[in-house]
Chain A
Amino acid sequence: AQSVTQPDIHITVSEGASLELRCNYSYGATPYLFWYVQSPGQGLQLLLKYFSGDTLVQGIKGFEAEFKRSQSSFNLRKPSVHWSDAAEYFCAVASSSNTGKLIFGQGTTLQVKP
């Protein structure tokens, strides 16, 4: 069965420090992968996506993610975190059954220290 694992439930980084949020997936074919961010009291905003091609994808707000098939990973990175990046981050994979269903990881809460 398809699944998404975000090993880190909560991460705290200092403002200006680099960030990496981990995401591992279980999927039988080439996955469609997404990172979404949810700020407090808000809906989900798409940060970036991977469908095919270049394994390093650039997103909004200075985020990037790298697809590594050998490691079944799609980790999200940012070189310098801003206080406004404090939020909940969700990794998701699209279902293989062509139904459009997204399977979400449990999410990682990012706290930014001044």
Chain B
Amino acid sequence: SAVISQKPSRDICQRGTSLTIQCQVDSQVTMMFWYRQQPGQSLTLIATANQGSEATYESGFVIDKFPISRPNLTFSTLTVSNMSPEDSSIYLCSVALASQETQYFGPGTRLLVL
């Protein structure tokens, strides 16, 4: 398995601002993903972070709102832009060695937007 860290672990932000979340893995991985878990809900995939190219977004998520970077095989960032209270969620990154392999999750970033 991979050891995954996320920064920050939690934050409280004002509406209209942006927050960048970092995800760091202790080994090179093929695939990195970003999920959102709204309060009391299950996980929903936001996008797949592609190394060296634009992220692949799921329906309902757009790059302007959730820009993602992945400069190398061990690191990715997710930015939540122009935040509103509806963006209050846990944001989790996950990694996998290949597309059909087990995904391992980071500890999550707990975001509260006031």
Query: Hey, which bits of chain A sit against chain B, CB under 8 A?
Result: 32, 34, 36, 41-46, 49, 51, 90, 94, 98-102, 104-107
Cβ-defined contact, A104 with B42, below 8 A: yes
Expressed in whole angstroms, the minimum distance between the Cβ of B106 and any Cβ of chain A is 6
Cβ-defined contact, B104 with A46, below 8 A: yes
Cβ-defined contact, A100 with B42, below 8 A: no
- Residue interface mask B90-101, A partner, CB < 8 A = 1: 001010101110
Cβ-defined contact, B96 with A106, below 8 A: no
In angstroms, Cα B103 to Cα A34, docked, is: 9
Expressed in whole angstroms, the minimum distance between the Cβ of B56 and any Cβ of chain A is 7
Q: Does B102 contact A (CB under 8 A)?
A: yes
In angstroms, Cα B104 to Cα A45, docked, is: 7
Quick one: closest A residue to B110, CB to CB?
A41
Chain B residue contacts of A49, Cβ below 8 A: 102
In angstroms, Cα B92 to Cα A36, docked, is: 14
In angstroms, Cα B33 to Cα A49, docked, is: 19
In angstroms, Cα B100 to Cα A44, docked, is: 18
Chain B residue contacts of A94, Cβ below 8 A: 100
Choose from A42, A99, A107 the contact partner of B42 (Cβ within 8 Å): A107
Interface size on B, residues (CB 8 A): 25
- Residue interface mask B79-114, A partner, CB < 8 A = 1: 000000000000010101011101111111010000
Chain A residue contacts of B19, Cβ below 8 A: none
Q: Does B48 contact A (CB under 8 A)?
A: yes
Expressed in whole angstroms, the minimum distance between the Cβ of B38 and any Cβ of chain A is 12
Chain B residue contacts of A42, Cβ below 8 A: 107-108
Quick one: closest A residue to B37, CB to CB?
A38
**Sample of 13 more A-B contacts, CB < 8 Å, known A98-B99, A105-B42:** A34-B103, A43-B92, A43-B105, A44-B92, A44-B94, A44-B105, A94-B100, A98-B100, A99-B48, A99-B56, A100-B96, A102-B33, A102-B94
Expressed in whole angstroms, the minimum distance between the Cβ of A33 and any Cβ of chain B is 11
Chain A residue contacts of B92, Cβ below 8 A: 43-44
